């Protein structure tokens, strides 16, 4: 039987300083760029399992012919591009769930650039077999056209290796571009490591050849992790406040959008030199709230749970990518919210409504579906009553000390 963590809150205001993990998104990009640059000093790297895995696989690539990205989508996608352009020969695989997550868009693009990659199982899915790289001549800049509504991780993977190609890379994005802040984060970090980039209108990006230069970089604290503390303050009693060190007002992370969303739910953000202070205020009422998560899909579970708990009906758009995450997050939310008297239903195509009737927390057990964000999105409900979280160790993927931080903040965690 899976382990279960029991959570409860003794009552009274929620106060304190919270130690956030470093940004996994920044860390994993910086590690790839450091590897392509040959060296560089990175500070405040994330202690998340995904980042530790990325470090380990990058160090092992030179001496191994089989690597596993486990359940880490970012690692699978970034490493696929890195291994391809560096001419690696071997097999890249992952967990059973990873072998169900599509990767054809990235593989097709890398093949056009000169990578020899074959599918060992189902067409379009890992595991992948790499057999070297034959690049074009330096006189011919390759041009790729890629859909903008795919995972930004595919696009970021191609951009990062573009500077390492002898002729650079011209990338044209078509249609609606999702998760644009993550692409902007990638471009900012590439520039920090010395890449020369020109943007051609809103959809074209040219990465000049020339590679990267070793650089030092200190990773920001993780706004995705901060979102769970915003949720806690939204559900906490009056007089609650929290300080979250290490967050920047001018951040490259798209999940900073949580600050604006949670203002509607009664959480005020004050930016300080050392981070942010969250203050409990009154949530909005009698107003139709609608949010688009295209640029910040990792916030969707958090916002859905808090809105249901507060009885605030909201409309959620831009959830397409949630179907192919660690689990089908839309289906998982629907099942787990129902346990508390809430619902997530699709009205118009692509528009989901959160509603609740008699929302109550009274010892329910939340299934996590091998998904770290399911565990952390539902944990704030402990402020309203006791509950249990299955497979609590899933948080190691992005926030290994999450349960320790809850305990330090005054939650009963057993």
- Dig out the tokens for 389 from the structure: 């979280």
Active site residues: 298
Question: What DSSP string runs through 72-120?
Answer: -HHHHHHHHHHHHHTT-EEEEE--TTGGGS--HHHHHHHHHHTEEEEES
* Binding region for 3-phosphoshikimate: 24-25, 29, 151-153, 179, 298, 325
- Dig out the tokens for 298 from the structure: 């990792």
Reduced to 3 states (helix: H, G, I; strand: E, B; else coil), residue 128 is strand
Reduced to 3 states (helix: H, G, I; strand: E, B; else coil), residue 374 is helix
On whether the CB atoms of residues 264 and 286 are closer than 8 A, the answer is no
What's the confidence (pLDDT) of residue 138? 66
C-alpha neighbours within 13 Å on the C-beta side of residue 348: 5
Angle between helix axes 152-162 and 104-113 (nearest 10 degrees) is 20
What's the confidence (pLDDT) of residue 294? 86
Pairwise CA distance, residues 7 & 385, whole Å? 8
Tens of pLDDT along the chain (414 residues) come to 469 999 999 999 999 999 999 999 999 999 999 999 999 999 999 988 899 999 999 999 999 999 999 999 999 999 999 999 999 999 999 999 899 999 999 999 999 999 999 999 999 999 999 999 997 666 789 999 999 888 889 999 999 999 999 999 999 999 888 778 899 999 999 999 999 999 998 899 999 999 999 999 999 999 999 999 999 999 999 999 999 999 999 999 999 999 999 999 999 999 999 999 999 998 876 678 999 998 898 999 999 999 999 999 999 998 876 666 667 898 999 999 999 999 999 888 888 999 998 899 999 999 999 999 999 999 999 999 999 999 999 999 889 999 999 999 999 999
The structural domains of the chain, ordered by start, are 4-21+221-413 (3.65.10.10), 24-218 (3.65.10.10)
Question: What DSSP string runs through 145-209?
Answer: EEETTS-HHHHHHHHHHHTTSTT-EEEEEESPPPSHHHHHHHHHHHHHTT--EEEETTTEEEE-S
* Binding region: 24-25, 29, 73, 101, 151-153, 179, 298, 325, 329, 373, 397
83: which residues sit within 8 A by CB, 6+ positions away? 61, 67, 90, 92, 130
Pairwise CA distance, residues 185 & 175, whole Å? 20
Query: Diameter of the chain by CA atoms?
Result: 68
Pairwise CA distance, residues 376 & 371, whole Å? 9
């Amino acid at each position: 039987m899976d382990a279960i963590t029991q959570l409860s809150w003794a009552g009274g205001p929620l106060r304190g300083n919270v130690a956030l993990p470093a940004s996994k998104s920044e860390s994993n990009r910086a590690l790839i760029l450091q590897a392509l640059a040959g060296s560089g000093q990175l500070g405040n790297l994330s202690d998340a399992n995904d980042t530790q895995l990325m470090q380990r696989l990058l160090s092992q690539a030179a001496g191994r012919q089989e690597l596993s990205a486990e359940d880490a989508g970012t690692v699978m996608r970034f490493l696929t591009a890195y291994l391809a352009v560096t001419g690696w020969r071997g097999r890249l695989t992952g967990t059973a769930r990873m072998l169900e997550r599509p990767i054809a868009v990235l593989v097709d693009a890398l093949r056009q650039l000169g990578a020899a990659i074959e599918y060992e199982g189902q067409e379009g899915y890992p595991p992948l077999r790499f057999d070297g790289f034959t690049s074009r001549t330096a006189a011919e800049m390759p041009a790729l056209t890629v859909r903008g509504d795919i995972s930004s991780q595919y696009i970021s993977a191609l951009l990062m290796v573009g500077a390492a190609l002898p002729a650079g890379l011209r990338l044209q994005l078509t249609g609606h571009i999702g998760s644009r802040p993550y692409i902007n984060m990638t471009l900012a970090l590439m520039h920090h490591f010395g890449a020369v980039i020109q943007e051609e209108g809103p959809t074209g990006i040219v990465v000049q050849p020339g590679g990267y230069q070793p650089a030092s970089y200190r990773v920001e604290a993780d706004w995705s992790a901060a979102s769970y503390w915003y949720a806690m303050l939204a559900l906490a009693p009056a007089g609650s406040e929290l300080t979250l060190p290490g967050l920047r007002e001018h951040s490259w992370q798209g999940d900073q959008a949580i600050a604006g969303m949670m203002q509607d739910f009664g959480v005020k953000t004050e930016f300080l030199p050392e981070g942010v202070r969250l203050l409990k205020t009154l949530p909005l009422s009698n107003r139709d709230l609608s949010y688009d998560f295209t640029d910040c899909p990792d916030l969707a579970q958090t916002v859905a749970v808090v809105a249901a708990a507060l009885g605030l009906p909201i409309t959620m758009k831009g959830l397409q990518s949630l179907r192919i995450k660690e689990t089908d997050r839309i289906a998982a939310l629907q099942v787990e919210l129902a346990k508390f008297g809430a619902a997530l239903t699709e009205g118009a195509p692509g528009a989901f409504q959160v509603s609740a009737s008699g929302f109550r927390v009274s010892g329910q057990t939340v299934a996590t579906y091998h998904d770290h964000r399911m565990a952390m999105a539902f944990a704030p409900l402990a402020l309203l009553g006791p509950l249990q979280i299955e497979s609590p160790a899933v948080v190691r993927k992005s926030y290994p000390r999450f349960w320790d931080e809850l305990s330090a903040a005054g939650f009963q965690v057993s």
